[in-house]
Structure 1
């Protein structure tokens, strides 16, 4: 458990000290930013990533906050690996109180040219894995009679059209709906479920492009800039924390006002528009 004397008054308002949080996709990008913030709030963490080394690197960094952190590797598109990882976490580390699922990636194709393999792959790595992981955590919480909080990371592409990456958009839209259903079924038992929908975020896989390209891409974003992984981490922490005790089944767009202005889909993924498509990172 983190040292209480190290937490500021503001950090204590989150009420997260000592909670054990699983971050799926915790080895880089949004997952790493979330891990670093939750560690400062006093959470103990398990970071699940496709690459053990990535997760362990972040664990080593956040342990400096005086918290416990464990690294575990699994391919989230493999149900058996997800189930085994969830069982191992609670058996060998500590019972989980909360989870943030940040894995996601888009396959690019026009619908008329899309293969069923692309469709299935995008649904597996954006929607199906979250159902499996959230189901396993909910089963544990229900069996223990414990409260909990679960956060999914969707995308603005789940709230508008997703030209040239329709499978991804459909999966992210499904994620928004699934979160609502989970909230309706589990909130009576004290399990809150919410969703964050990133817009144009600078990540390791979607870095800043040339200035002119970025300026054109940001023309539809009122804040005139791309967001940071820390922006997403703050939204996740809000949903996981005691700052949102009466919030469940909601989706928060963290997009610099993009959807408020119209949220138009702007075409091909091979130019700067990819950065405005809300494609999340931290593939685990």
Structure 2
């Protein structure tokens, strides 16, 4: 049995919202590599068209679609077009989100609402539309999204984003409970820092991760994509309602670990005693 057969995605129909950029682009390509037919949905038509063309050129089957995932009619239109072209959807991945940076004391109501619209509503509407399709067609299915460790911990300077991602974590669990009776699994991959094209991290910024994370670097977009494809695959057939941490150990580390490491490396046996304590 090949590795792609083990995933159980061959011939299945997948839809990737935000599928033309960053983690979404990699998710579209990884689904296609696993044998799925892919509807690549993006707000920017050219991005979706580029990735769909790449999949088709490599012998896969894909269609490019445009949608605003914060607008319900737009979501429903894109899903209908995907199913008209490829057949009823089996699995869904959504990679939509944007940080709104401001301290809460200065945040405008518009910024607060944008954070929830772009990070929470953008998951709710596509997930519900796909779940309704699965139930209507009497099919089991799987849904995966990108949440964030900012939904687990405090999110200074991006409180709207953190609150929305905390809402997403809860929404994943609630969807899993409400839709499990229909054979629909719902999970999230939870990154810490990811080196997406939008991040444009400087070398100085990248060097900071050496002391912040056990793996000493941010995630590559493809590493998140592989986790998302795993979550919608048969390899995860008994996993639902979970928020899988794909954070390079970010949330496993003691808050003062970086300080402890510094003391340990400069203070000899005293430092070792501190580290063990």
Q: TM-score, normalised by structure 1?
A: 0.87
DSSP 3-state at the match of 1:200:
coil
| Equivalent position of 1:121 in the other structure | 114
Q: Paired residue for 2:128?
A: 135
Mark the CA change 1:78 to 1:188 in structure 2 (over 3 Å): closer, same or farther: same
Question: 1:216 maps to which residue?
Answer: 208
Decide whether the 8 Å contact of 2:90 with 2:140 is kept in 1: yes
Partner of residue 242, structure 2: 250
Judge which range, 104-113 or 87-96, deviates more. Answer: 87-96
Partner of 1:37: 30
Tell me, in whole angstroms, the C-alpha distance in 1 between the residues paired with 2:143 and 2:150: 21
CA contact (8 A) 2:13 2:86 kept: no
Instruction: Report the Cα distance in structure 2 between the residues aligned to 1:263 and 1:207, rounded to whole angstroms.
Output: 26
Contact persistence 2:18–2:95 (CA under 8 A)? yes
RMSD: 1.4
Alignment partner, residue 273 of structure 2: none
Query: Shift of residue 217 of structure 1?
Result: 3.8
Of residues 158, 167, 178, the one that matches 1:165 is 158
So what's the TM-score if we normalise by structure 2?
A: 0.89
Counterpart contact for 2:209–2:218, Cα < 8 Å: no
Partner of 1:65: 58
Q: How far does residue 233 in structure 1 lie from its aligned partner after superposition?
A: 0.8
* More deviation, 32-41/174-183: 32-41
Q: Which has the higher contact order (CA 8 A, sep 6+)?
A: 1
Distance, in Å, in 2 between the alignment partners of 1:172 and 1:263 is 21
Structure 1: which 4+ aligned runs deviate by more than 3 Å? Answer: none
Unaligned stretches of 5+ residues in structure 1: 1-7, 265-284
Aligned length: 256
Instruction: Give the distance between the partners of 2:208 and 2:98, measured in 1 at CA.
Output: 23
Q: Distance in 1 between matches of 2:250 and 2:80?
A: 40
Question: Retained in 1: the 8 A contact 2:63–2:85?
Answer: no
**Structure 1 CA distance for aligned equivalents of residues 38 and 225 of structure 2:** 14
Contact 1:218–1:226 (CA<8 Å) still a contact in 2? no
- Which runs of 5 or more structure 2 residues have no equivalent in the other structure? 257-277
Match in the other structure for 1:237: 229
